[in-house]
């Protein structure tokens, strides 16, 4: 295991106009026109971690763009003790279908922490967007004004544990609208539900173009051999990302191909299980110098970018998934992707067109071997994947959806 140094981030944040080179001038004009109609309205975004995971990744870039188009946006992060985040992690797993064995006082503790945060925060914006279940009960504040409250759910709710969902649902039903990352994730709710794909920022350090020399330097820094195939999964060390399953798949491939495996990840402040999972992964990797387990600090965006670009194949073998931004990131870099058909991944990976969908470690190994043996097909998958992301999963799309949503919610004022 190694820990990387601080990479130099790009000095200047991109502005909206910079995206014209990627999505075209008409798209930028349309965004400006929409923004003009929402300008001056204030927005608050609330989630439970400032670093780690896809939600923080999105908000980091969406918030400055909203500000730029004169929709002042505050991003606030709720605080909570160890017990609260232990509970919310159990909720998260249960909403993804895992068994739930919460203690009698967990719902009470959850609500008490929400209440503490509610008292600490002010809610005088026109739109309050609450991300995921952790802060869902902040809606208790809504009696005090004409604000619009939106619940943005980033997780797959298609098969939730009934006990946890029955507890959360009445809170969700108090919102004005809900946003889901896939049509399959929605539940029967009393409020409108909208489809919002998560998106990546093509100009952020995580995704911008890099010099091949820089990519090689990063590989070398981590002692990865650029001359042999590199299989990579980038993910928080979380059992639902199945890093040990990735090692199993790699071992099946390794019998036939002299390849290397990179498992690069970090932790999120709202995920208390990361250290234990990292330990399991390190144990599973023991004795094989071609498995690189990299525990990266949260600012390693350029390194992750380089690891993705330097990979021969990118894997995302999740057991459950919200959307799986890492898949969009890899596709944007024209990488052949082998990924589980779970959560939002099938929206991104269209089997045999923009990547390969799998259902097991054996299937993962099979598709990796197939792609290693058919590099020209792998290249076509990467090209198609890039186009697919360009059309659906870029930051400008997300900005547009929020602006349109706000306009819809303003109707009737
Ligand atoms: N990520 C990161 N460092 C890590 C692991 C992941 O910056 O060590 C980023 C990754 O590049 C992606 C996001 O965190 O942008 C993960 O989002 P995803 O939707 O794939 O999964 P989540 O963590 O939200 O379940």
- pLDDT tens for the chain, 413 residues long, are 333 333 445 667 899 999 999 999 999 999 999 999 999 999 999 999 998 788 998 999 999 999 999 999 999 999 999 999 999 999 999 999 899 999 999 999 999 999 999 999 999 999 999 999 999 999 997 766 678 999 999 999 999 999 999 999 999 999 999 999 998 898 899 999 999 999 999 999 999 999 999 999 999 999 999 999 999 999 999 999 999 999 999 999 999 999 999 999 987 777 888 999 999 999 999 999 999 999 999 899 999 999 999 999 999 999 999 899 999 999 999 999 999 999 999 999 999 999 999 999 999 999 999 999 999 999 999 999 999 999 999 999 999 999 999 999 998 66
pLDDT in the model for residue 3: 32
Whether residue 228 sits in one domain with residue 177: no
Residue 206, domain member (yes or no): no
Around ligand 1, the residues with Cβ closer than 6 Å are 53-54, 57, 206, 234-236, 265-266, 296, 304, 322-326, 329
Out of 304, 306, 347, 398, give the residue to mutate to test ligand 1, the one with the largest number of ligand atoms within 8 Å of its CB.
Answer: 304
Q: How many Cα neighbours within 13 Å face the side chain of 222?
A: 32
> What is the spatial distance between Cα 411 and Cα 413, in angstroms, rounded to a whole number?
6
> For residue 282, which of 249, 319, 243, 236 has the smallest C-alpha distance?
243
56 C-alpha vs ligand 1 centroid, how far in Å?
9
> What is the spatial distance between Cα 187 and Cα 190, in angstroms, rounded to a whole number?
10
Number of independent structural domains in the chain: 2
Domain of 58, CATH number, reads 3.40.50.2000
Residue 348, domain member (yes or no): yes
Residue 11, domain member (yes or no): no
From the alpha carbon of 264, which atom of ligand 1 is closest? 8
> What is the spatial distance between Cα 334 and Cα 328, in angstroms, rounded to a whole number?
10
Whether residue 227 sits in one domain with residue 177: no
From the alpha carbon of 268, which atom of ligand 1 is closest? 23
pLDDT in the model for residue 308: 98
Residues 6+ apart with CB under 8 A from 46: 75, 76, 77, 78, 121, 128, 129, 130, 131, 135, 138
Whether residue 399 sits in one domain with residue 340: no
Whether residue 164 sits in one domain with residue 22: yes
Whether residue 52 sits in one domain with residue 102: yes
Whether residue 141 sits in one domain with residue 193: yes
Residue 6, domain member (yes or no): no
Q: Where are the beta strands (DSSP E) in 196-238?
A: 230-234
52 C-alpha vs ligand 1 centroid, how far in Å?
6
pLDDT in the model for residue 349: 98
39 C-alpha vs ligand 1 centroid, how far in Å?
31
Whether residue 231 sits in one domain with residue 188: no
Whether residue 181 sits in one domain with residue 35: yes
Residue 145, domain member (yes or no): yes
Whether residue 186 sits in one domain with residue 232: no
**For atom 4 of ligand 1, which residue has the closest CA?**
265
**For atom 11 of ligand 1, which residue has the closest CA?**
326
| Other CB atoms within 10 Å distance of the CB of residue 296 | 20
3-state class of 2 per DSSP?
Answer: strand
Which residues is 77 bridged to in the sheet?
Answer: 47
What is the reported pTM? 0.91
Whether residue 239 sits in one domain with residue 185: no
pLDDT in the model for residue 267: 74
Alpha helices, DSSP H, located in 268-394: 274-285, 301-310, 325-332, 345-348, 361-373, 375-392
Residue 27, domain member (yes or no): yes
From the alpha carbon of 57, which atom of ligand 1 is closest? 15
Q: CA-CA-CA-CA torsion for 149, 154, 158, 159, nearest 10 degrees?
A: -110
268 C-alpha vs ligand 1 centroid, how far in Å?
9
Q: In what order do the strands lie in the sheet with 356-358?
A: 291-295, 260-265, 230-234, 313-316, 337-340, 356-358
Residue 182, domain member (yes or no): yes
- CA end-to-end span of the chain: 56
pLDDT in the model for residue 293: 98
From the alpha carbon of 327, which atom of ligand 1 is closest? 20
140 C-alpha vs ligand 1 centroid, how far in Å?
30
pLDDT in the model for residue 411: 87
> What is the spatial distance between Cα 152 and Cα 198, in angstroms, rounded to a whole number?
10
Residue 7, domain member (yes or no): no
Helix (H) and strand (E) counts in the chain: 15, 12
19 C-alpha vs ligand 1 centroid, how far in Å?
23
The backbone torsions φ and ψ at residue 221, rounded to the nearest 5 degrees and listed phi first, read -55, -35
Whether residue 217 sits in one domain with residue 191: no
1 C-alpha vs ligand 1 centroid, how far in Å?
19
pLDDT in the model for residue 143: 67
132 C-alpha vs ligand 1 centroid, how far in Å?
16
Give the structural domain span for 51: 16-199+394-410
């Amino acid at each position: 295991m190694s820990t990387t140094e601080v990479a130099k981030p790009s000095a200047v944040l991109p502005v909206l106009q910079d995206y014209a080179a990627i999505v075209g001038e008409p798209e930028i004009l349309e965004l400006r026109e929409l923004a003009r109609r929402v300008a001056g309205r204030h927005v608050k975004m609330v989630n439970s971690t400032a670093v780690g995971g896809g939600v923080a990744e999105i908000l980091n870039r969406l918030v400055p763009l909203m500000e730029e188009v004169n929709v002042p946006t505050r991003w606030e992060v709720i605080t909570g003790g160890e017990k609260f985040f232990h509970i919310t992690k159990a909720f998260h797993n249960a909403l993804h279908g895992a068994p739930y064995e919460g203690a009698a006082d967990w719902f009470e503790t959850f609500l008490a922490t929400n209440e503490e945060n509610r008292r600490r925060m002010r809610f005088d914006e026109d739109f309050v967007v609450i991300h995921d279940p952790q802060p869902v009960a902040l809606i208790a504040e809504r009696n005090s004004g004409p604000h619009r409250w939106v619940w943005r759910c980033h997780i797959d709710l298609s098969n939730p544990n009934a006990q946890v969902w029955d507890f959360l649902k009445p809170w969700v039903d108090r919102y004005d609208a809900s946003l889901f990352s896939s049509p399959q994730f929605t539940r029967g709710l009393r409020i409108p539900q909208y489809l919002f794909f998560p998106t990546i920022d093509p100009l952020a350090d995580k995704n911008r173009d890099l010099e091949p020399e820089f990519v090689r330097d990063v590989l070398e820094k981590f002692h990865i051999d650029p001359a042999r195939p590199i299989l990579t999964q980038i993910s928080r060390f979380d059992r639902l990302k199945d890093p040990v399953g990735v090692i199993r798949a790699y071992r099946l491939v390794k019998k036939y191909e002299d390849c290397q495996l990179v498992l690069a990840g970090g932790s999120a402040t709202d995920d208390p299980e990361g250290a234990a999972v990292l330990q399991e992964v390190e144990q599973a990797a023991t004795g094989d110098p071609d498995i690189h387990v990299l525990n990266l600090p949260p600012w390693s965006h350029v390194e992750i970018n380089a690891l993705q670009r330097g990979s021969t194949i990118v894997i995302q073998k999740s057991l459950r998934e919200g959307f799986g931004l890492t898949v969009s990131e890899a596709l944007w870099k024209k990488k052949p992707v082998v990924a589980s058909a779970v959560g939002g991944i099938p929206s991104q990976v269209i089997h045999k067109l923009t990547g390969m969908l799998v259902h097991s470690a054996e299937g993962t190994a099979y598709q990796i071997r197939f792609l290693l043996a058919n590099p020209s097909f792998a290249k076509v998958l990467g090209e198609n994947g890039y186009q697919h992301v360009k059309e659906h999963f870029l930051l400008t799309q997300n900005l547009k959806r929020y602006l349109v949503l706000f306009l819809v919610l303003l109707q009737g004022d």
